[in-house]
Amino acid sequence: MFWQLETLERGYNLAANVLSLLRGNLAEDKDARETSMRRADETNAALLASVADMSDKLDGAVHSIVAQVTQKMEHDQLEKLGALFKTVKLAMELGQDAMLASAMTDISVQTEYAKSRLAEGKRDWLGPWMMSEALRIAALRTLVSGEKANAIISREALAFRTQILDYSRHSLLETFEKAPWLKIAQFVQGENEDLLALVTGEEVAANERAEVDVAFTGYSGRVHSIDVGVGASVEVGDCLLQYKGTAMTYLVSATVAGVISQIMVEVGDKLEPGAIIMKIVPR
């Protein structure tokens, strides 16, 4: 859950950074080309900083996802995305357009993979999709120039904005009592990226408020001891309670780190498979 939340937040942030940079570049007229060239280094430095930050965050995501996602293919794809961020970062630092162009194909593959997972209803891939699509558009902006290229990038940026809204409609229409239509319109028109900060904050807050149910997955038994209390901080693997089966005493351990918010059983209670025994607010 934690890699999902962090990549989602970072995905929104990277999308906002890239779209903001594009908005500043593409709004310039012909008379401002010389000024644009002088600002190119500053723009690329800001973009490079965002890419480097995403690379570090994806490194952490790769390690944490192993324990939470059972499908190795998805882990491998996330790992490839992290490697691509490193490649793009190096190419931009060295000014190697050929290396950057070569990475574009792989970036596109990662983007399509993430979109396929989203089409399956896996919202966990919203963050990685925004990262890969933002990276693709950022690399494209670095590689090409000229009025025709700017028109293409503008088209790609508009499509990116529209797709973000499509994938974020869950938050926009279900989280907010009233949809922020003005911010939506400004976002689509390319006037600012304030909507992304708004959606990110709501997504993070909703995830932070969500409690995780701790379900009993063993065979039937009776609670022998409860080893934590409400408000206790636990780590993955910490013992929550012990129960007696037919032959011996077993442990129930925490599968997420967080704070115990509710305890649903008492010593002596009979446990059946699937029963909710505790609730944890993850951190």
Structural domain boundaries of the chain?
2-209, 212-282
pLDDT at 71: 52
Q: CB atoms < 10 A from the CB of 241, how many? A: 23
Calculate the alpha carbon distances from 74 to 62, 66, 120 in Å.
Answer: 10, 10, 13
pLDDT at 269: 92
Between helix 2-26 and helix 126-143 the angle, nearest 10°, is: 30
Mean pLDDT, the chain cut into blocks of 10 residues (283 residues total):
58 77 59 50 60 58 44 70 83 86 87 85 80 85 82 88 84 69 85 78 56 82 91 87 86 86 91 88 78
pLDDT at 227: 92
pLDDT at 48: 62
d(CA 143, CA 123): 31
pLDDT at 65: 44
d(CA 157, CA 189): 11
d(CA 53, CA 61): 13
Q: CB atoms < 10 A from the CB of 63, how many? A: 10
Structural fold of domain 212-282:
OB fold (Dihydrolipoamide Acetyltransferase, E2P) (2.40.50)
d(CA 154, CA 188): 12
pLDDT at 73: 63
Nearest CA-CA partner of 6 in 69, 80, 66, 61: 61
Q: CB atoms < 10 A from the CB of 279, how many? A: 17
pLDDT at 63: 47
